[in-house]
Amino acid sequence: MTVLVTPKALADHKARDFKMLIDGKWEAGASQPIERIAPSHGIVVSRFPTGTKEDTVRAIAAARKAFDRGPWPRMTASERSAILLKAADLIAARSEELAYLDAIEAGKPISQVRGEIAGSVDIWRYAAALARDLHGESYNTLGDGTLGVVLREAIGVVSIITPWNFPFLIVGQKLPFALAAGCTTIVKPSELTSGSTLVLGEILQEAGVPDGVVNIVTGTGPEVGAIMTSHPQVDMVSFTGSTGVGKLTMTNAAQTLKKVSLELGGKNPQIVFPDADLDAFIDAAVFGAYFNAGECCNAGSRLILHKSIASDVVKRVAELAKDVKVGDPLDPSTQVGAIITPQHLEKINGYLAGAKESGAKVAHGGQALDFGMGQFMAPTILEAVTPNMAVAREEVFGPVLSVLTFETTAEAIEIANSIDYGLSAGVWSRNFDTCLTIGRKVRAGTVWMNTFMDGASELPFGGYKQSGLGRELGRHAVEDYTETKTLNMHIGARTNWWMPQKDKLA
């Protein structure tokens, strides 16, 4: 039976009232605030302003003014880098406050969020270093009469829209790189988990980011996000969220042909061969499936097992899943926290019901957990899953692991590539040829070999197919927020093509 950590009452918690940031000023908003109910405890823990279309337009105007006439794009790279480094230090100093907010608003285990905040600090420092490495090109090879120079310039005003599952980490994968390039921004966090992003606004002001460079508007997608993605004064959109909303974002941005970066859904396979180190894999399978309660685009939600080991692997994964601690996000021993909303828990249960109707079998879990408050889901394993089932093709976004089987390498690759997503994948084998074959033929932005869900600021992240467009992180991350401009310079006298030379008229 799953070890349960009973949620404790938030007796000492007082709901925090936040304000949004527009042009350097903190505003409460004119309408009724959004109340965030903790998914683990069922009480109001935060209140956010309900941003309007008018608020969003004002924020865009502030970002436009800050880009066109303000100091930020005109600073030296070293000056911007110094401010980003100071922001990283301030994030580290307020890390416990940030972790607490993400834990209570998103239902994430506090120990996990502490790691995410530390990872964010590293990303901000990495972006600060890249700010000073941004450069163009020169071409002195075009003949005596021509010198070519290619400049990199900040793209302009960037709309950044982030999801609820990694509130602080994902804004850190976008915002510092946009700032490093010299861009100005409007940020919309999820209306469910806005607290840590609003604290980030305070941090950036203290670090020395000028007014209007970072504007944070809280509210819903139809009211705020739609304007951010369609407004003609916005030059680029960076969005992380569901594939469905990503498609809508792209449609909105197409009205003015904005640059779009999308990090969307995933249905990520782990392909396991008989010669794999199964002890290492079993741990990675449980971690990959249940990390962040499976509410993770990178979740290893599909196990594609060789038939000869499938039965044994499922038993071993189920045994380890029994020891996963589900419960109070504020307990440092908790490994799986709460499901984000009751509606999302209902969606997960709908996928399970459909899978069972289609012939899948529950090998472990399969039910919601009743703690008397909040909403929780038992880590679940489904076996006898076939590639055509919805639970094998669609993003459940919960702690649900689907098990499929294969006999040949070609069959494993076909199953892995048979869906619309291509965010990440894993392969487990002691044979490097096998790993490299899978790595080259599986269509995914990241392929882990004998590990899963490792990452670093230096490594690009993004997906193939309907998992998104573009890449975040990595040494080119700042370049994504720039345009290139060619300066073609002529040296010496120029010969006119259409006007006859005077000496030939004599």
55 touches 224 (CB < 8 A):
yes
Active site annotation includes 395: no
DSSP string, 158-193: EEEE--SSSHHHHHHTTHHHHHHHT-EEEEE--TTS
Per DSSP, 393 falls in state H
* C-alpha–C-alpha distance, residues 206 and 140, integer Å: 44
Closest alpha carbon to 296 in 80, 85, 116, 37 = 116
Q: Which of the following is catalytic: 263, 295, 383, 472?
A: 263
Side-chain-side CA neighbours of 317 within 13 Å: the count stands at: 34
Dmax over CA atoms of the chain, in Å, equals 102
Whole-Å CA distances, 29 to 18, 48, 310, 424: 10, 9, 55, 40
455 touches 115 (CB < 8 A):
no
Residue 390 DSSP SS3: helix
Rounded to 10 degrees, the C-alpha dihedral 427/429/430/433 comes to: -70
Provide the H-helix boundaries in 70-148.
Answer: 77-93, 95-106, 110-131
Whole-Å CA distances, 137 to 150, 152, 180, 285, 400: 5, 9, 19, 45, 49
Encode 226-253: b = buried (16+ Cβ within 10 Å), e = exposed. Answer: bbbbbbebbbbbbbbbebebbebbbebb
Rounded to 10 degrees, the C-alpha dihedral 290/292/294/300 comes to: -70
374 touches 38 (CB < 8 A):
yes
DSSP string, 306-364: EHHHHHHHHHHHHHHHTT--EE-TTSTT-SB---S-HHHHHHHHHHHHHHHHTT-EEEE
Structure token digits, residue 161: 């829209």
* C-alpha–C-alpha distance, residues 87 and 90, integer Å: 5
* C-alpha–C-alpha distance, residues 411 and 232, integer Å: 47
Residue positions annotated with a catalytic role: 263
